[in-house]
Amino acid sequence: MIYNKEGGNANFLRPLINAYTLLPIHEITAIPGKISGALMLVNAITDAVPLIHGPIGCAFQRKINPFRPHSAFYETPCTNMRDLEVVYGGEEKLSLGVKETYEKYHPGLIVVITTCASDLIGDDFKSVIEKTKEDVGCEVVYTAGDFVGKSKPIGYQDALYAITDQMLCKYQKKEEIEKNDCSVNIITLPIQNTALKTAEMASVLSEMGIKINKICFDHTTVKDLYELPKAELTITDYPLAALTLMKERLGVDYYATVELEKYKESKEPELLSPYGIEGSARVFMEIAKRLDKEGEAEEVIERRKKIAYEKLSEIKKGSGLGGKKVAYSGRGCLHSLEQQMLLRDAGINPSLVIYKTGGLGLFLSMDAMEELQNITVEWARKYGSEPKILINPTTEEEIRAMKENGIDLAIISSLNNAVYEYHKEGIRTFNREDLIVHYQRIGFECPVELAFRLGEALKKPKKRNPLLCMLEYDTCRANLTHEWAKLADIFMSLRGGAVGVR
């Protein structure tokens, strides 16, 4: 349990922020840690190449365990540190690695990603790279994991900060930058389809008279990175250390669509989510105010909202969504509330909400998790619903509750291997990951698309997969076998201890 300075239980907001900065994004097998997080960013820059300064296993790990099977890290050159370098230093190998990487790939940027081995022996990355850069025809930066303290996701934040600090801020001064008037950058995590997530936002902003300077990371080049400081404002998912640095040294302000501190002032649940029709309208208006475009924005927002509500009305009539009972299974964190707000626009207030707190118990006190759940219930009551709440139930308890509440559709994770149990009992399912990847984005169209897909899911025939009944899974972690569940618990305990959580 986390305690505050006064010795009592921590309040809701601060431990929630801590949890979001510490929890893995893609579960156990795809944590964007120091190496993989940096690879994620470098891989999204078309003419950049990473160089891993460490043992060969550090480079090979992501080839056997990529974030997505269709998005592997193909180029991961490595200095191949061995026992000799660990004893006598790996600076010579680093210098040679930079030169060989340039000779083979001829990139516009090399990002040196250090590892535990090279960090612990104290290699002087800065002096080696500054000297070696004279022998190659591209920019070289290094990320050692010490630029931004505990900012997470580790690796992604470190690499972005390193590029900003060692490259963008090094060669540009804010008084010399030629600004692209009334323009914005849009920066989002390159884990998912950036083009999909930003297309409508870019379209709406353009209609308001706001120019798009750069979108990252969507076919981003090194040249694009150098042009980021030309914007007046950068729009991001959540605050990034690199953007704070860019504001201080290059004069580019930023706006975070998910800013938990806003909730402190009004305690309105809507301020915790930038998604859905009203959430998107709020975000667009706040951006417009920052650029003195309120007048133009008001007309565009109202027109877009009207079109979206009309489409939603037609879909609801055709699918009968409004009269259906839905169960939603989330992780008991902010994403759950965000997704439920999208469901509301689609004409659904879940009748049953299942919270799987999992690793959140390492970072949030029981009081903090209870407050999160209370927010969900209070918000649902505001819109005429009072869902039944289940906390960490077994699969059998979930199915029993669904039958008792007459659930028509269960929105659950595709990672949950107990999906077959629902199908066996005649309960239709909708993949929660589809909701997160394809519909959880800022804009007026995504609730319309979600409503249509939910309607289609309700029309599908019920499935039955009897062969899967032969497999045995953990009762509380239904996506894992008993053995893997124990390993997951050990991993989370060790990881919690490593960051000083009690």
Q: Give the torsion through C-alpha atoms of 24, 26, 31, 35, to 10 deg.
A: -130
Q: Nearest-CA neighbor of 498 among 21, 58, 22?
A: 22
CATH number for 174-295 (one of 3.40.50.1980, 3.90.180.10, 1.10.10.60, 1.10.3720.10): it is 3.40.50.1980
What is the enclosing helix (H) or strand (E) of 186?
strand 183-187
Which is higher by pLDDT, 29 or 257? 257
Q: What is the CATH number of domain 32-171?
A: 3.40.50.1980
Contacts of 228 (CB under 8 A, 6+ apart): 168, 185, 213, 214, 216, 234, 246, 252
Q: Nearest-CA neighbor of 429 among 458, 399, 388, 394?
A: 458
Cβ-defined contacts of 121-130 (< 8 Å, 24+): 121/85, 121/86, 121/89, 121/90, 123/53, 123/89, 123/90, 123/91, 123/94, 124/91, 125/53, 125/94, 128/91, 128/94, 128/95, 129/94, 129/98
Q: In the block, which residue shows the tokens 């009762």?
A: 475
Highest mean pLDDT among 19-28, 298-307, 462-471: 298-307
Q: Contact at 8 Å (CB) between 308 and 448?
A: yes
Supply φ then ψ for residue 393, to 5 degrees.
-80, 165
Measured between its terminal Cα atoms, the distance across the chain in Å is 6
**How is residue 357 written in tokens?**
């707190």
Q: Nearest-CA neighbor of 116 among 172, 43, 61, 183?
A: 61
Q: What is the CATH number of domain 320-470?
A: 3.40.50.1980
Instruction: Judge residue 194's burial from the number of C-beta atoms within 10 Å of its C-beta, 0-12 exposed, 13-18 middle, 19 or more buried.
Output: buried
Which is higher by pLDDT, 352 or 475? 352
Q: What's the rounded mean pLDDT across residues 253-266?
A: 73
Which is higher by pLDDT, 264 or 121? 121
Q: Nearest-CA neighbor of 385 among 340, 333, 336?
A: 340
pLDDT tens by residue, 30-75: 455 788 888 889 989 999 999 999 998 888 876 666 655 556 677 8
- 320-470 matches 32-171 in CATH topology: yes
Which residues pair with residue 214 across a beta bridge? 185
pLDDT tens by residue, 211-227: 999 999 888 999 999 99
Q: Contact at 8 Å (CB) between 253 and 247?
A: yes
Q: Contact at 8 Å (CB) between 293 and 234?
A: no
pLDDT at 493 over 90: no
Q: What's the rounded mean pLDDT across residues 342-351?
A: 81
Sheet holding 352-355, edge to edge: 388-391, 352-355, 326-330, 409-412, 428-431
Supply φ then ψ for residue 266, to 5 degrees.
-115, -20
**Domain edges within the chain:** 32-171, 174-295, 320-470
Supply φ then ψ for residue 353, to 5 degrees.
-115, 125
DSSP 9: B
- Measured CA to CA, the distance from residue 69 to residue 368 in angstroms comes to 36
Which residues pair with residue 10 across a beta bridge? none
State the pLDDT at residue 466. Answer: 57
pTM: 0.80
Q: Contact at 8 Å (CB) between 318 and 459?
A: no
